[in-house]
Amino acid sequence: MEPSRPLTPDGQVDWDAFAAHDYWKANYAFMRADDRLFLEMVRDFFGAEASSTPAGSGVDVGSGANLYPAMSMLPLADEITLWEYGAQNCAWLREQLPHYSTYWDRYWQTLREHKAYEALGSRDVRRRLARAATVHQASLFDLPEQQFDVGTMFFVAESITSDEGEFRRAVASFMEALKPGAPFAAAFMRNSTGYVVKDHKFPAVKVDEDGIAECLRAFASDLRVHTVDTRGRSIDAQDRSEGAPEKQLRDGYEGMILALGHRQ
């Protein structure tokens, strides 16, 4: 069956033109302070679940060339589906998974500061991810309902379209793919105006904390929404009310937003 093609008012986006290696190099070859803080927050949230939850199946939606969301689910999932649409991204993931590059070791070191991750054993983690993860080339609009015990979706719903309705449908597809009670972590660029990967412009919807909370509240219990500025500093609601987060240090967005909670 032909996967559902995401539509945007700007016309169709060619996700096969998304250059995985360039994206990885620009964003993840070195660990940035904002990613580190996100990783710590996700680690502490998923890590706290691990003692009371048997490992099940996880999904990372729109993985692109980022392995850290999948890594963060390892204490909670012995099967992880990387549900990705773009051809180059799927090829990059399939190449990395059997033995991911040492650039990802820093991300794992951050995760293993928590005992739930340390318990998995450092030497084994490559093999563990290789065993657990499979790449599934498909659109998030074709995700099955209530299938997964834990889920992540990083910088996808707001970064695949410039259409607000499609952003909301993408969030709904992700949340509906989770079983009731499943913990999730979803990350968003704050007020992004789009981004360029290897001379190719990709769209975005401008979203902020209120819009994300409003969108997720219908699906989530105990929702927590955190903002991190581009220097990796956490910003709480009061700081935000006193002005916009730190003027962006990089073009096109104002920091990152992380939503954590459980599927209702």
Ligand X SMILES: C[S@@+](CC[C@H](N)C(=O)[O-])C[C@H]1O[C@@H](n2cnc3c(N)ncnc32)[C@H](O)[C@@H]1O
SS3 content of the chain, % helix, strand, coil (to 5): 40, 20, 40
Task: Tell me whether residue 64 or residue 261 sits nearer to ligand X (CB atom).
Answer: 64
Cβ atoms 153, 176 nearer than 8 A: no
Q: Does 100 bind ligand X (CB under 6 A)?
A: no
Task: Tell me whether residue 18 or residue 117 sits nearer to ligand X (CB atom).
Answer: 18
Q: Which residues are within 8 A (CB) of 203 and not within 5 positions of it... i.e. 6 or more apart?
A: 8, 10, 13, 159, 160, 161, 162, 194
Q: What is the 3-state secondary structure (H, E, C) of 67-100?
A: CHHHHHCCCCEEEEEEEECCHHHHHHHHHHHHHC
Residues of span 48-67 touching ligand X by CB under 6 A: 61-64, 66
User: Of 93-101, 105-113, 156-164, 226-234, which part binds ligand X (CB under 6 A)?
Assistant: 156-164
Sign of the alpha-carbon torsion through 89, 24, 133, 192: negative
First to last CA, the chain: 30
Task: Tell me whether residue 83 or residue 219 sits nearer to ligand X (CB atom).
Answer: 83
Q: Does 6 bind ligand X (CB under 6 A)?
A: yes
User: Of 70-78, 80-88, 97-105, 219-227, which part binds ligand X (CB under 6 A)?
Assistant: 80-88
Nearest residue to the partner ligand X, using Cβ = 64
Min CB(154)–ligand X separation in Å: 3
Q: What is the largest CA-CA distance in the chain?
A: 50
Task: Tell me whether residue 57 or residue 72 sits nearer to ligand X (CB atom).
Answer: 72
- In the list 38, 104, 155, 184, the residue contacting ligand X (rule: CB under 6 A) is 155
Taking each continuous run of H as one helix and of E as one strand, the counts in the chain are 10, 10
Draw the binding track, 11-50, toward ligand X (x: CB under 6 A; -: no contact). ----x--x--------x-----------------------
Min CB(160)–ligand X separation in Å: 4
Integer Cα distance of 39 and 45 in angstroms: 10
- In the list 139, 162, 192, 230, the residue contacting ligand X (rule: CB under 6 A) is 139
On the CB side of 87, CA atoms within 13 Å amount to 4
Integer Cα distance of 64 and 108 in angstroms: 18
Min CB(123)–ligand X separation in Å: 26
Interface positions with ligand X (CB under 6 A): 6, 15, 18, 27, 61-64, 66, 83-86, 89, 139-141, 154-156, 159-160
